[in-house]
Amino acid sequence: MYKQPLTSARHEEHLLLAPRALESIELFAGAGGLALGFSSKNVQHRAVVEWNTHACNTIRHNKLHKVEPISHWPDVTEGDVKNFKYGAYEGIDLITGGPPCQPFSMGGKHGGFLDERDMFPQAIRAVREARPRAFVFENVQGLTRVAFADYFDYILLQLEFPSLTAKPKEQWGDHLARLRKWKQKPGTVSEYRVTFKLVNAANYGVPQKRMRVFFVGFRADQDKLWQAPDETHSNDALLLSQWGSGDYWDRHKVAARHRPSKPDGIENKIRKLIDSDFGSNVLAWRTVRDAICDLPDPERFPGKVQAHRFQPGARTYVGHTGSPMDEPAKALKAGDHGVPGGENMLRRVDGSVRYFTVRESARIQTFPDTFLFEGTWSEIMRQLGNAVPVRLAAVIAESVCGQLRA
């Protein structure tokens, strides 16, 4: 169909309506979950940096097959971020990334600032050298543990005053004391206005209970302070849908005999929720069933869907019992040696378990079905376990980019 070309006036109006493209550097990119979320908000990545070969190959694989929007990304820079130079990117709109989280993981060895895998110093160097208008860094809930309180404060102060670097051979505790003293000095002006927020991905429509902390900073001359986006989904709304109206079971055509047992005391809770009119403007948490209901059983129909292959060997053990079908999944984990069984398993209503397939795990991490993965099953599951859910990344991106464009 013929389309009338835009006149000068209409073209200017079109430009005003379209959001301005922002430019970013994506560090610690992994399989690209955070970068995909920002891409969906009209952010153009000028550099994508990742050290893990398998994750780099996944990004390359999608770029080779022209998967959108990765086809428009620059070639991934594979290597240690310590060697990355920021001279050509000074004043860029955004720096984003998830510094490796193993040092602070609840399931790890809790090495924290004593762990050489702590990449926050490199994230701070990126801010210091590139001086972006804003930055977004993501990390695990474990970083907020009381045991890391001083180091958490150290991260915040370094992000607020990135140019106030440690002196040669200065211990981090001494540097922290100097930063605290500097902040309290009369007339001190922050280089970046920094905010952090611990969020549950399930509260933003991700079918997974995944706790993550986000650090967001705006350069002082932007005169902005990040406000975390309002939560859009809740467990109470899910309970109302399941045990109040029953809409959840009707939508999925689940007969009463195939539903899990009612939770103890649920009738009283439902009455209180109805009386308080809770959930009228909040959506229900998305469950595993919501995420994968249209996929065929991989045991009965192998090969029907790309990356949806049955993986044998799933078993339960203490503390690792799988993710119930009718709740958001437990947080997918990467693990040091292979894949932890419990976090990455589906637990059916009858109590039987099996591993999530790659495609199911990708759905739980809200990657699009067009996304392709490269590597063995364990390597891909490690990439997925380390990823930022794409939907959560998009929600955070919308809040940050909206302020940058204001």
* pTM for the predicted model, two decimal places: 0.91
Q: How far apart are CA 359 and CA 74, in angstroms?
A: 26
Residue-level pLDDT at 339: 53
Domain match, 401 and 265 both = no
Domain match, 223 and 238 both = no
Q: Indicate the helix (H) or strand (E) that contains 50.
A: strand 43-50
E-assigned strand segments in 101-244: 134-140, 192-200, 208-209, 211-219, 233-234
Cβ density class 57-72: b for 16+ within 10 Å, e for less: bbbbbbbeeeeebbee
Domain that holds residue 279: 234-367
Domain match, 335 and 208 both = no
Domain match, 97 and 116 both = yes
CB-based contacts of 371: which residues, under 8 Å, 6+ apart? 36, 62, 67, 362
211-219 and 192-200 as β-strands: parallel, antiparallel, unpaired? antiparallel
283-284 and 134-140 as β-strands: parallel, antiparallel, unpaired? unpaired
Q: How far apart are CA 344 and CA 323, in angstroms?
A: 7
Structure token digits, residue 197: 């927020």
Give the position of tokens 């915040």.
156
For residue 374, being part of any structural domain is answered with no
C-beta contacts of 335-343 below 8 A and 24+ residues apart: 335/382, 335/385, 336/102, 336/108, 338/378, 339/378, 339/381, 339/382, 339/385, 340/107, 341/314, 341/315, 341/316, 341/317, 342/316, 342/317, 343/385
Q: How far apart are CA 275 and CA 292, in angstroms?
A: 33
Domain match, 400 and 354 both = no
Read off the DSSP letter of residue 317. B
Domain match, 49 and 194 both = yes
Instruction: Kindly report, residue by residue over 147-166, the tens digit of the pLDDT.
Output: 889 999 999 999 999 999 99
Domain match, 359 and 399 both = no
pLDDT per residue rounded down to tens, the chain (406 residues): 333 444 555 545 544 556 789 999 999 999 999 999 999 999 999 999 999 999 999 999 999 999 999 999 999 999 999 999 999 999 999 999 999 865 554 444 434 454 566 889 999 999 999 999 999 999 999 899 998 899 999 999 999 999 999 999 999 999 999 999 999 999 999 999 999 999 999 999 999 999 999 999 999 999 999 999 999 999 999 999 999 999 999 999 999 999 999 999 999 999 999 888 765 679 999 999 999 999 999 999 988 899 999 999 998 888 788 999 999 999 998 865 445 555 799 999 999 999 999 999 999 999 999 999 999 998 999 999 999 999 999 999 999 999 999 8
For residue 280, being part of any structural domain is answered with yes
Domain match, 217 and 256 both = no
Number of domains in the chain: 2
For residue 373, being part of any structural domain is answered with no
